[in-house]
Amino acid sequence: MRKNHEKSRAKMFDDLRADIKTEFVDNNPEFAGKSEEEIHKLMTQHGEEQEIARRRRLKEHWEMFTDAVVAIIITIMLLEIPVPNLAEGHSYHDFVSAVVVFLISFFIVADLWFDHHRLFDGVREVSDKIIVIDFVQLGALAMIPLLTKWIMVDITSFAMLNFGLTVLIVRILQVEVGYEVGKIQYQKTPAIWRLQREMARVRLSSTLFANAFLTIFAWFQPQIGHWLFIVIPLMSFTFGVLEKPKRSLDNGMGK
């Protein structure tokens, strides 16, 4: 009984494969008269081309989605700045302090956006794994406006701890995205990929150390520590400038 059931299922799948081949030939008349082996090869090639096209469309749509999310994040942070109003207890000093907090968060978000586009510019397509990691990163990044408002209202050790940890998580995920993108970008140049990995390790170590140090410092000195978080985007910008000659070398080698 079981053997008959297995034979029936095998026959069903064989019939389905035959129907798929027939539909493929009907939709692509230029392949009519080809052998079974040639049709199978052409179907595989067609499927790979479709997958590449899908990944390219996914990259384009994801970049537009990321731009929209970042724009919304920055807008929300800006709207959280209290307008000076003595009747409501908002002095000009509170306004200036909130603007400073906004600018620190703005530069952190803007730097992440810049790094994101720089990574994606190096490839024509992305994998589903990259999108999943990037989606989680965007979710963490979307917490920045809430934490920024918290700091604007009251700069406490706990507020700075949450802010620092969130930025740290976003940075780690950004490095992971860069690693996955690099595997695609440098799959034909393993020597360059090894060099890129070493540079990524140095960058990750430096960024994590700086972020951890600032978070710990801000825990003990929140009033001073929140000013120092501007160091993180400045470090990232410096690494970007140092990597320009390396990217020029890659372009000269056909990258």
Alpha-carbon 8 to chain mean position? 47
The crossing angle, in degrees rounded to 10, of helices 36-79 and 2-27 is 80
Cα–Cα nearest to 115, from 141, 149, 145: 141
Torsion of CA 106, 111, 114, 119, to 10 degrees: -140
Distance CA 56, CA 161 (A): 39
Cα–Cα nearest to 91, from 99, 208, 25, 146: 99
What is this structure's pTM? 0.73
For residue 1, pLDDT over 60 is answered with no
Q: Which residues 6+ apart lie within 8 Å of 189 measured at CB?
A: 250, 253, 255
Mean pLDDT of 84-104: 81
Give the number of other Cβ atoms within 10 Å of residue 134's Cβ.
24
pLDDT tens for 50-72 read 777 777 888 888 899 999 999 99
Instruction: Give the three-class secondary structure for 22.
Output: helix
Tokens of 165: 């940890």
Distance CA 64, CA 60 (A): 6
Q: What does each C-alpha distance from 163 to 69, 81, 124, 140, 251 come to in angstroms?
A: 19, 17, 34, 11, 37
Tokens of 42: 């052409």
Give the number of C-alpha atoms closer than 13 A to the C-alpha of residue 141, restricted to the C-beta side: 29
Torsion of CA 65, 67, 70, 74, to 10 degrees: -130
pLDDT tens for 26-51 read 666 666 666 666 666 766 776 677 77
pLDDT tens for 67-85 read 999 999 999 999 888 888 7
